[in-house]
Amino acid sequence: MNRPKTGLIAVSAMFGVIASCGVLPAGEGTIKTPAATKPEKAEVSSPEAAQSYQRMASKSGGREVTVPNGLIAERIAPIASFDEKAQLTIEQVIQRVALPKYLQELQEQGQGYSAIQTDTESDTNQVIESDESLDVYKHLWEGSETLTWAEDLEDVVTVEVGDVDVPESVKSEPSLEATIAYEKGMEAWLSRDYENAQKFFLQAYKIEPDNIPIIRQMGWVSMLNPANRARGVRFFKRVLKQNPGDVEAMHWVGWYEMEEGNWDTAIALLGRVYQKLSSGEVKADGAMLPLTQHYLASAMRRGGYLYAASDMLEGFLVSPKRVNARTLYGQRLMFVGRQIGLVWLAAGDLRNQLNEPEAALAMYEQGMQYGLRQNEQLRLRLAYTKLRLDDETGALSQISGILRQKKPQADHQQIVDWVIDAGVERDDLIARLLEVYNESNQQDDQLAIVISETYQDTRGKLLLVEHLKNNPENEVVYEHLLRQWVYVDVEDKSRNVSKYDHEVRVREGLNICLLAMEGAPNKAGEYARMMLTYVGDWNQVEHVIDAMSEEDRLRAEVQVIYGLSKAAKADMPSASVAFENAFNKAPELMVARLELTKMMLVMRRYNRATELLDGAPQSNRHSSEVVQLRARMFEQQSKMKKALEIYQTALDSGNNDVDILLGKADIQVRMGLVKPCEQTLLDAVSAHPKSEKLYAAVFKLYEQRALELGDMKSRYQRILTRLMSSLPNSRLARMKRGEIAGAQGDIKTGERLLRELLADYPQDIEVMGRLIQVYMRDNQVENATAFIEQQAVIYAANPAVLKLAADYFKSIKNMEKVFVYTEKMIRLEPTNHARDLQLASLYVAWKKDLEAAAILGRMIADPSLEQPHVIAGMLWSALHRVDMEGQGDDEMKAAIVRFPKQAADIAFQWSLLVDSVGNEGKSEQLMLEVLKINPDHGPVNNQLGYRWVMRGENLEEAKSMIERALKVEPENGAYMDSLGWAYYKLEQYEDAVVWLEKATQSTDGEYPVIQSHLGDAYWELGRKGDAVRVWEKARLKLENEAGKYRPELDPELNGLQDMLGQKILKAGE
């Protein structure tokens, strides 16, 4: 099958000047240049150049134009002044540089150049564009990379050439065994059976290690695999040691020296090869001379011999080439031939550098003829060169061509800024940009952003608003509008934007958000969250919404925004009402349905949540968001198997979304299915090899579950190899490189790599954390501390950075700093009740009770406070700890009066608090008072009822109270347990088992006390096996998760583990 002539080819660094151009489209041109492209005028800079081509005449000079930084290579800019070596001819350069010392010594002994045996099969000589050569190319360059025998050469050559003792003469006749092995190797080599070729050559080499033909073939076979090319070159150096005139060996050693950056050595070697081949003194493969020219031009350019490099490269370009497609020279030359447009581009760069823009332009235009017409790098060079020649119209034409291609907006903006800096009139440029934009039917979002930035006034904002009306799905434009035009810093002097007051800007942002939400309802949630993120002050958003007319305020989209704002402040009741309003107004609006479902899950109203998900439009029922919410509902109820089934059903139906795969893996690991989780993630990586977060999930699994998986070195290496292969320049890959360097003890490299990554991702918390780990691995506490404190100063407004600082200081047990950074982090939040509650909780945790009481006192005095029982309880506790219990009681009484609707909740909270300090009588009295106010108060009925059950008092009344509580909250597992235990105390064991089994199937079902109760009920029914099973389950839970179950919070846990152990032992007697 013939290889197609177009496609993307990543150019290897071995191809010299081509390598600087990056990944570029290969054209349909060949190395053979049409006669029509040759220049008519000529100036000959050296005699040898005149023999092979005519140098294009060119005027020097041109307008000075800055090279677009970061867009094309700086080296195309004209050199201000030429040093001596930049002006040397080819022959002068070759004479100037010195051969390696070992070759000089051997040449002084009179050893000359040897001829190379050539393939005489005429039918294999073909013009490089022949399709027959392409399949061979593919086999050699792609197939050889998969060979597995490279490791076998590890022990063959273990010293450099200079350490090899080379005999003065070489045996003329190798042994029979070596000859047979060599001939078998050649047979396999010619049959392209490279694995067997290597095996037989290695056999021959071990027998005759000083035989030149065998050494040369060992060089060849090593060169096939990129990983072994350095070893192959060592073989060729050994050939040169024995025969310094071996042109073939000299060619490959010269190429390798070029790859290593040893320019003069490369020029010395390749230059001698060029001289012998171009003069006809040595016969060789037909592709060897042009390939040598190409490498030599690259080495000359990199070595600063610009005129010689230009002559050599242009000589290469205009000479006809016929190659043997079966040789490695031919394969390499064919590769260059498929990229000949890039070679013309490199030749143009040299002419620009030599201050010959007319000649550079001609060569760039040749590049366009050879497949680079749509290449951005070439178009940029053409624009740059045309600007140098005062052809602004031509330059704008090239820029328009670039902007018609779909490229990242940042690249486009950089190009436009460069053109303006180069002197092109802004209005002319905008007119050209608008032409291109209109050609796209005003749908090119990236170009719309570029034009808006080029305007630099409010016309830019108006253009984006209009664009968003017509293209509401373009979230990039929406975000740019918010970030750069609505919420842009009003002090930014680069814009002619009037200083809106904050409320006006919030209103404008809200209107743009509503426009986008209505136009793209499927992105309504994303747009609303983005707007709230940029505005920052959610109270201000709510204030603007409250000021709307009732009709506008009750629009579904407005209620969604209002609900999201309330939810962000943890005001779940208000958020729930807003989402309910939005859902009732527009049930087809998925964001309203989904957010309302989330509220139902928070409130554990699973029936309502199921109803909402089942009622989703058919087209959305299997969407990733719906699947995730349905699975989360079962997760919250500890029904992990059911949650796993939900994810698996979605995957079986064809939803292979990354988030679904991650959800499945998360459930598996939480169920203890660590190896199935690993397999899920690895399969997901195979299906989505470019998904960075899948790789991150695998690494996280390996870090957290290493003991359960085992063999972590090979596991880690495999996924790391896949990451580096699929996403070598990704954030995660770069972070891993730095992390690994630090783990291997190379702290400086690890630090450098992570700091470089941090420069690209300046507020990346994970990268900061990894850098701290690198420091701490080397016990560099001072450096780690200095780094995190510096970041906390630079990004003082970033709560994630402050949290990282607090976590770091906690790890080194500097609790004073933990408090400082936690307080700073909380104070960044918008001033509201949620923020005040966090701050008060911090003061309580640090035993700063008076400071906490001051905040809590202000909060409880606000009649609009939601959930006042929580705040009143915290205030009572803070006052009690500073011996102000009386004032605490007064605050409770005042709160009951101030919040009549929550009076029962406040009184119940009060009762729990006085019970916690040992006043059980007052606690029960308060609970009885609550039941007078609200006889159906669920928590009080359960609490008091269960307390009586535990004491064996008022059992029938206690059972009735708990039943009333269950009517209020029928899915509450704790209430089920209370009722089951009431039946147990009444010796109604079958009823006890029914309710206790229900309790174990609830969200709280894994709680050890519930499991213990069920075991006791089983025992009384004679189900001893079941009793021991659940007792053991509860015992292991307490043993393995000791920190999770704290007796100070539940007295029933005190001594429970030992008690269960005794029961199990007794059962076994």
| Cβ atoms of residues 360 and 348 within 8 Å | yes
Lowest mean pLDDT among 2-11, 418-427, 1032-1041: 2-11
Half-sphere CA count of 315, side-chain side, radius 13 A: 29
For the cut 50, the answer to whether the pLDDT of residue 23 exceeds it is no
Mean pLDDT of 601-617: 90
Quick one: pLDDT at residue 577? 92
Q: Among 484-493, 810-819, 1000-1009, which range has the highest average pLDDT?
A: 810-819
For the cut 60, the answer to whether the pLDDT of residue 172 exceeds it is no
Quick one: pLDDT at residue 586? 92
| Pairwise CA distance, residues 1016 & 161, whole Å | 82
Quick one: pLDDT at residue 646? 93
| Cβ atoms of residues 557 and 517 within 8 Å | yes
Instruction: Say which residues have a Cβ less than 8 Å from residue 636's Cβ, sequence separation at least 6.
Output: 601, 604, 606, 1003
Please spell the DSSP secondary structure of 403-422, one letter per residue. Answer: HTS---HHHHHHHHHHHHHT
- pLDDT interval class at 1002 (50, 70, 90): confident
> 401 or 119, which is more confident?
401
| Cβ atoms of residues 339 and 367 within 8 Å | no
For the cut 70, the answer to whether the pLDDT of residue 81 exceeds it is no
Q: What is the pLDDT of residues 1039-1049, one digit of tens each?
A: 888 778 888 77
Lowest mean pLDDT among 636-645, 760-769, 914-923, 1011-1020: 914-923
Measure CA of the first residue to CA of the last residue in the chain; give whole Å.
Answer: 79
Neighbouring-strand partners of residue 7: 26
- pLDDT interval class at 501 (50, 70, 90): low
For the cut 50, the answer to whether the pLDDT of residue 153 exceeds it is no
Q: What is the pLDDT of residues 616-646, one digit of tens each?
A: 888 888 889 999 999 999 998 888 999 999 9
Q: What is the pLDDT of residues 646-696, one digit of tens each?
A: 999 999 988 889 999 999 999 999 988 999 999 999 999 999 999 999 999
Mean pLDDT of 105-128: 39
Cα–Cα separations (whole angstroms), residue 1042 to 781, 1050, 1056, 1057: 32, 13, 12, 10
Quick one: pLDDT at residue 490? 38
For the cut 50, the answer to whether the pLDDT of residue 32 exceeds it is no
Which of 447, 46, 93, 135 shows the shortest CA–CA distance to 271?
Answer: 93
- pLDDT interval class at 223 (50, 70, 90): confident
- pLDDT interval class at 1034 (50, 70, 90): confident
> 133 or 991, which is more confident?
991
Give the H/E segment covering residue 569.
Answer: none
Q: What is the pLDDT of residues 941-953, one digit of tens each?
A: 998 999 999 989 8
> 256 or 114, which is more confident?
256
Lowest mean pLDDT among 127-141, 192-206, 501-515, 894-908: 127-141
- pLDDT interval class at 508 (50, 70, 90): confident
- pLDDT interval class at 488 (50, 70, 90): low
Cα–Cα separations (whole angstroms), residue 582 to 604, 606, 607, 679: 20, 20, 20, 41
- The whole-chain average pLDDT of the chain stands at 80
For the cut 60, the answer to whether the pLDDT of residue 2 exceeds it is no
Quick one: pLDDT at residue 157? 26
Quick one: pLDDT at residue 261? 86
Residue 130 burial class via C-beta count within 10 angstroms: exposed 0-12, middle 13-18, buried 19 and up:
middle
